Amino acid sequence: MEDRDWKNRLGKKGIAFYSFLTEWARHVNKTVVTKDHVPWQDLPGYTTLVKAFLAEMKSKDVRRYPSALLNASYSLLKNEKLLNVFIAIAYNKTR
């Protein structure tokens, strides 16, 4: 935890960030299920991670989304409440 290199790699919000989100969402979905659903809003850091991810989606051209970003979006869609937000972002970026 003292090594700041991981913070720098994730802070750039590139492939490492998207891969982290993918694995994190999968892990949460496997381990934090209570009564058939995951209490996403109760997870520490969830809101911050999702906001950072949505900002990345907004800043990139839809046609040039890296596969790691797409994989992260699939994993984050375990929270079905994000579907409308993802669609709105993609729709607003198309012509």
Cβ partners under 8 Å of residue 41, min gap 6: 47
Domain of 88 in residue numbering reads as: 5-92
Q: Over the stretch 12-65, which tens digit does the pLDDT of each residue have?
A: 677 888 988 999 998 988 887 666 777 888 888 888 889 989 988 998 888 888
Q: Name which of 6-10, 74-78, 91-95 the model is least confident about.
A: 6-10
Residue 66 has pLDDT above 70, yes or no: yes
Count: domains in the chain: 1
Q: What is the pLDDT of residue 33?
A: 66
Pair of tokens at residue 28: 């949460």
Distance CA 71, CA 17 (A): 11
Q: What is the pLDDT of residue 1?
A: 46
What is this structure's pTM? Answer: 0.76
